[in-house]
Structure 1
Amino acid sequence: MKINGNEIRPGNIIEHNDGLWIAVKTAHVKPGKGGAFAQVELKNIRNGSKLNERFRSADKVERVRLDQKDQQFLYESDGMLVFMDSETFEQTEIPADILGDRRPFLQDGMTVTVEFYEEEALSCTLPEKVTCEISETEPVVKGQTAANSFKPAVLENGVRVLVPPFVGQGEKIVVNTETAEYVERA
């Protein structure tokens, strides 16, 4: 689908310079002399390189639509995450580093959203919230209920989070996968 250069929004995926790029930031600039343009910061989906590009309103760019499929996580092997389509039972491999800091939250059997471009798996989105068990934290101290006091805790997956003082070791909590923050007791 062709769109004008000034219609690019953050999160849009476009085909540019023979590659797939995601728009990270956009700023509309109207200089004193000359025509207006959109200053767009692009990130290459395949290799992670960045590029700053100017698009005038007359420039046409190809906007790419990604197909999203829910897939189940099976296992990790040689730095690749293996997912299975629950309808066709086809298996898909994605590099583990694509998840970055969110990798520890991926659990066996978890259903995630995998984005495809012409049969090529490009990215993977975890659920917004996951339930984890606390493997170690300080014991509950009676009377220590000052407003907004949090204590450090280590989850079963090795991630460190701050939890309220009433949460103890062995309890299950809900954690936000984007920010790695405590949400509530499970």
Structure 2
Amino acid sequence: MRIIASNVRKGNIIEHEDGNLYVVLSAESFFPGKGTPTTQIDMRRLSDGNKTSVRYKTTEQVERAHVEDMNFSYLYADGDGFTFMNDDNYEQVIVPQDVIGEQSAYLQEGMKCILSIFNGVAVAIQLPARVTLEVIETEPVVKGQTASSSYKPAKMDNGLRVMVPPHIGVGTRIVVLTEDNTYVERAKD
């Protein structure tokens, strides 16, 4: 299936001109005042893990590989990789670290994810857009400090660092965007 370059998203699997399959790590469109708008796509070859970066005109067509997106639940991690269970038939799949990458920090037991399956092998993962994490370390709350544009660093229970508003203290549960690791709001639970 051919799609225009500006519609390519992180996690998509595309078939490059060299005949190999690549998973998209990031896709960013640029719209200069003068000249042709372009889309920069950073991707990793599935066969050997080599990373490459390609720039397309935003209206150019790229071939999106036919992969099957299936719902899985995350179970646990061990020396072999990350184990997921198919929600429909309870079959378990082990996904290697290089497929998950930095997103492994967001994985929580029982989390619903979408795995892209190509020829029986998981080649990419889509996490939920938002996850709830707990602040375990940050500067103390200062009385009278308002939630202005000043943010402070906070360490989360999964080890990630997130910039949070000044009123967020240790023990507070917050919602974080998995796409760019940014604070959204206090958790409502």
C-alpha separation between the residues in 2 aligned to 1:51 and 1:163? 33
Q: Confirm whether residue 117 of structure 1 aligns to residue 153 of structure 2.
A: no
- Give the gaps of 5 or more residues in structure 1: 27-39, 54-60
Structure 2 residue aligned with 1:35: none
Q: What amino acid does structure 2 have at the position aligned with 1:68? A: D
Q: What amino acid does structure 1 have at the position aligned with 2:175? A: V
Identity rate, percent: 38
Q: What amino acid does structure 1 have at the position aligned with 2:21? A: L
Flag the 1:63–1:147 CA change in 2: closer, same or farther, 3 A.
closer
* Cα shift at 1:97: 2.8
1:108-147 → structure 2 map (5 Å cutoff): 108-145=109-146, 147=148
Q: What amino acid does structure 2 have at the position aligned with 1:115? A: S
TM-score of the pair, normalised by structure 1:
0.75
Structure 1 residue aligned with 2:157: 156
C-alpha separation between the residues in 1 aligned to 2:157 and 2:98? 20
In the alignment of these two chains, the number of paired residues is 167
Q: Confirm whether residue 72 of structure 1 aligns to residue 81 of structure 2.
A: no
CA contact (8 A) 1:15 1:64 kept: no
Q: Deviations over 1:49-101 (max 9, x none)?
A: 24688xxxxxxx96521110010001111151110001101011111232322
1:31-42 → structure 2 map (5 Å cutoff): none
Find the residue that maps to 2:114 and give its secondary structure. Answer: strand
* Cα shift at 1:18: 5.2
C-alpha separation between the residues in 1 aligned to 2:53 and 2:138? 45
Query: Larger Cα Rg: Structure 1 or Structure 2?
Result: 1
Q: CA RMSD in A?
A: 3.2
Q: What amino acid does structure 2 have at the position aligned with 1:105? A: Y
Structure 2 residue aligned with 1:167: 168
Structure 1 residue aligned with 2:50: 49
Find the residue that maps to 2:105 and give its secondary structure. Answer: helix
Find the residue that maps to 1:132 and give its secondary structure. Answer: strand
TM-score of the pair, normalised by structure 2:
0.74
